[in-house]
Amino acid sequence: MSIRSVLASRGIKIRSATEPFDDSPMGRFVETLYVSVAQLDNDTKRDMVVDNMRRIAQQGYWQHKPIRGYRMATVKNSEGQPRPSIQPNDEGDKVRDILMRFNQGDITEAKLVRYAAAIGIKNRDGKPLSQETLHKMLVRPEYAGYIHDKFTNFESVEGKHEGLITPEVYQQNLHIIRRKNKEYLLGMKHSTTNELYPLRRFMLCVNCHKPMTACAPSDSPRYFCARPSCRGTGSVMASIIHAKFEELLQQIEPSPETVKRLKSIIKHQAVGELKSINHEIAELRDKLNKIADIRAKAIQQFISGKISEEDKQIVIDNLDNEKLTISEDLEQLEQQQTLGESSIEYALNYMTNIAKQWYDGDLELKRKLQNLVFPQGFEYDIKQDRFISVGISPLYKCISEENITFKAINSTMVTPRRVELLLPG
C-alpha cells in the first residue's frame, strides 16, 4: 500500500507548494511525471557513485570500515587529492603474529583461537575470537596488501595500504588451509591415484571385455578385473604394462593418407591466416611511409624558418617513437608471414613420436592419445602377455604386429573428414 493511500484513508490530501498537481487526471499525470523524473535523477546519481567507487577501488583505495589490525587513513593520489585508505594500528603487530603463527603449518585453526586469546586478541566484549572469525582473517587478501571487494568484482587489486604479511605468506596460508581440508585432501588423493593409472577404464579384460580397475596392494600398483566371473585372470603391475604399452606405441606411425591430409590442412589454414597478415603488413608499411613524409616536411619547415628547432625536435622524437613501435609490430608479422616446412614437420613429428608424447604427457594428454590411437580401447591378455585390439584409428597404422593381435570383427570406423578435430589438445 502506498503512502498516498494510507493518508487518503485518514482524510489527508497531498498538496505541493512548488509543483502544480492536484487530484484531477492532469494533476495525477503531472505528479507521476515529477516522481519519474526524480527517480531517474536518483538512479543516475546512484550509478555515478557506484562507478566512482569502482574506479577508486581499482586504483587500490579502501572504502569500507577498517578491518582488525587497521585504522582509517587518507593518502593522496597522483593529483594530490586525498583518498581513503587504511594503515596498521596498535593491534596490527598481534594480527601479524597470528597470521605468521599459522604459516608455520603445525597448528590447527581451533588451536589458533587459543593462541590469539593468549596474546590478547579478543572481541569488543572481551570474549575470544571465534574460529570462523579467525578463518576469515586467514583468507583475507587485504592483510597481504590487496583490495578485494564487490567494486573489484572480488578480484585482488594491489592496494595503497601496507600489508601485514607478504603475498607469499598469504598464498602459503591458503595452501595450508587447503591441505587441512578433508574434502580437498580426498580430491588430491583421488587425482594422484588417477595419475598412477592412466590405462584404467581404457584397458579391457580379455575374459569379460569390460574395463579393468586398479589398486595398489602393499604399495604395488596393479591393473586387474575385479568381477567375480574373471577371478583367475590375474593382475599385472602398472609399471610393467605402462612400459609394454609405450613399446606398442613405438610400433605405430601415421598412415600415408593422414600425412597427406595433415599437410593439406596446415597449408590451407596457413593461406587463410596469411591473407590477414599480408593486409596488416601493408597497412603498417603505409604508416611508415607517412611517418617518413611528415618527418621530411618537419625538417623542411625548420630549414625555411617556419618552426623552431625545439618544435622540430619534438615532432621528430614523437615520430621516431611511433616508428619504433610500428617496426616492432611489422617484424613480428613478417616472421609469421613465412609458412615454411618447419610447421608441417613439427605437427608430423608430434604424431609420429606418439610414444614419447604419451610418456611425457599428463593424465589428460595420456588419455587423449590412447583414445586417438585406439578409439575402442584394447584388451590385454595377462597370461599370454599380448595386446588384443578390435581396431586401430584410421589415422595410424601398425608397422609390426608382433605384440598385438587384431580381432577379425566388422568395424564401423570411418576415416574422418576433418583430421584436425581428432588431434589431442
Whether 424 is in a domain gets the answer no
Q: Are both 84 and 126 inside the same structural domain?
A: yes
Q: Say whether 398 sits in a helix, a strand or coil.
A: strand
Coil, strand or helix at 118: helix
Model confidence band, residue 418 (pLDDT cutoffs 50, 70, 90): very low
Residues 6+ apart with CB under 8 A from 395: 254, 255, 258, 351, 372, 373, 416, 419, 422
Cell (9 digits) for 362: 599428463
Backbone angles phi, psi at 38, to 5 degrees: -65, -40
Mean pLDDT score of the chain = 82
Q: Is there a single domain that holds both residue 17 and residue 45?
A: yes
Q: Is 410 a residue whose pLDDT tops 70?
A: no
**36-65, pLDDT tens digit by residue?**
888 888 888 988 988 999 999 999 999 999
Q: Is 45 in the same domain as 77?
A: no
Q: How far are the Cα atoms of 252, 359, 393 from residue 371, in angstroms, in the given order? A: 14, 15, 9
Residue 228 belongs to some domain of the structure: no
The answer to whether residues 89 and 41 belong to one domain is no
Q: Output the nine-digit C-alpha cell for 41.
A: 535523477
Q: What is the pLDDT of residues 86-111, one digit of tens each?
A: 999 999 999 999 999 999 988 988 89
Amino acid at 314: I
Weakest-pLDDT range from 17-21, 307-311, 378-382, 417-421 = 417-421
- Parallel, antiparallel, or unpaired: how do β-strands 386-389 and 404-406 relate? parallel
Query: Cα(51)–Cα(225) distance, rounded to whole angstroms?
Result: 62
pLDDT higher at 375 or 30: 375
Rounded Cα gap, residues 35 and 32, in angstroms: 5
> How many structural domains are present in the chain?
3
pLDDT computed for residue 402 by the predictor: 63
Q: pLDDT tens across 222-281, in order?
A: 899 988 888 888 899 999 999 998 888 888 888 777 777 777 776 666 666 667 778 888
Query: Same domain, yes or no, for 37 and 127?
Result: no
- Report the CATH number at residue 102: 3.90.1750.20
Residue 377 grid coordinates: 580401447
pLDDT in tens, 142-159: 999 999 999 998 899 999
Question: Rg for the chain (alpha carbons), in Å?
Answer: 36
Whether residues 79 and 176 share a domain: the answer is: yes
Give residue 35's domain range.
3-58
Of the candidates 241, 242, 210, 244, which has an alpha carbon nearest to the alpha carbon of residue 225? Answer: 210
Answer whether residue 306 shows pLDDT above 50: yes
Residue spans of beta strands (DSSP E) within 139-265 = 146-147, 157-158, 203-205, 213-215, 222-224, 235-237, 252-254
| pLDDT value of residue 417 | 38
